[in-house]
Structure 1
Amino acid sequence: MLKTLLRWIDIPPGWLALSAGAAWGLDALVPGLGFGWGWSRLVGDGLIALGLGAMGLAFWEFLRARTSVIPRQVPTAFLKRGIYRLTRNPIYLGDAMVLVGLILHWDVLVALPLVPAFAALITRRFILGEEAGLIAQFGDEFIEWASKVRRWL
């Protein structure tokens, strides 16, 4: 049962949920850690919307290419148009934007260090392996594209 639970958690949305839960829990356990800035809720909502939008645009490209969005699968298509002209990982970038947005919305700014920790974890657990798979599958085409398009933003 623990192995099944860990398999479900060890996916990017699982790590996003755990990170968001940690931010929310920090706010719930130690109230008053925010700064009470009225703008943070509005900016947070905007970042959540932008993050979801980036994810939606990326999913659209996956649908257009008829390839799987599930991490750690062998790539069957090389996505480099649309939002992929701006970032190599729009879904992970969207996840990070949603996390920042939630932290700002909840006004628990002391939880902001969770964002670089989340990005480092996603890079190590998913992105590096996905990039290795793309190099193996598409070689120089991926390497050339990756030299022009940033990993995050």
Structure 2
Amino acid sequence: MALKIPPLVLMLLAALIMWLAAILTPGLTFQLWGRFGFALALVLTGGAIAALGVLQFRAAQTTVDPRYPQQSACLVSNGIYKLSRNPMYLGFLLMLIGWGIWLTNPVSALVPPLFVIYLNRFQIRPEEHFLKQKFDDKYIQYCRRVRRWL
């Protein structure tokens, strides 16, 4: 299962599951004052963080598709990558949390932590393994300076 599902597809699938969970358990949905603004802020912030990650990869002329880490042309460690080793994934997570706030359903709120667990196991660890092999000490030093998520 490692590196098989594009993370964007995984995020959209998680959002769909969250929506279905909210529909199937309507009695658990609650009211939350200010949910629209808070949800929108998280979705926009997450989208911006993910977009910055993509733009940084494009500027470095390296692949954005994490399913093929062997196509990585260089180690990107500047810009948003000084704050997070995985800003695209962090952005997706913030978007899912915002969506969860919009849905205001505790069952749907279970999905973002599962998203993180899945990404860590089947996406990030295999990527990190490859990057350690390809970039050796440079990548190890980068990992010591910058956290995986935030």
Identify whether the pair has TM-score above 0.5, normalized to the shorter chain: yes
User: 1:21 maps to which residue?
Assistant: 16
5+ unaligned residues in a row in structure 1: which ranges?
Answer: 1-5
**Equivalents in 2 of 1:30, 1:121: separation in Å?**
24
- Superposed CA offset, 1:24-66 (max 9, x none): 0111122142220122222111110011000111111011100
Matched, 1:64 2:78: no
User: 1:128 maps to which residue?
Assistant: 125
**Does the residue aligned with 1:112 lie in a helix, a strand or coil?**
helix
Question: What TM-score does the superposition give when structure 1 sets the normalisation length?
Answer: 0.89
**Equivalents in 2 of 1:24, 1:58: separation in Å?**
27
Structure 1 vs Structure 2 CA RMSD: 1.5
Question: What TM-score does the superposition give when structure 2 sets the normalisation length?
Answer: 0.91
Identity of aligned residues (%): 32
**Equivalents in 2 of 1:68, 1:84: separation in Å?**
15
Match of 2:38 among 26, 34, 43: 43
Matched, 1:54 2:49: yes
Q: Is the 8 A contact 1:33 1:109 kept in 2?
A: yes
Farther-moved stretch of structure 1 (35-44 vs 48-57): 35-44
User: 2:142 maps to which residue?
Assistant: 145
User: 1:115 maps to which residue?
Assistant: 112
Q: Note closer, same or farther for the CA distance 1:37–1:47 as it changes in structure 2 (3 Å cut).
A: same
**Equivalents in 2 of 1:109, 1:98: separation in Å?**
16
**Does the residue aligned with 1:43 lie in a helix, a strand or coil?**
helix
Q: Which runs of 4+ in 1 moved over 4 A?
A: none
- Count of matched residue positions in the alignment of Structure 1 and Structure 2: 146
By relative contact order (CA 8 Å, sep 6+), the higher-ranking structure is 2
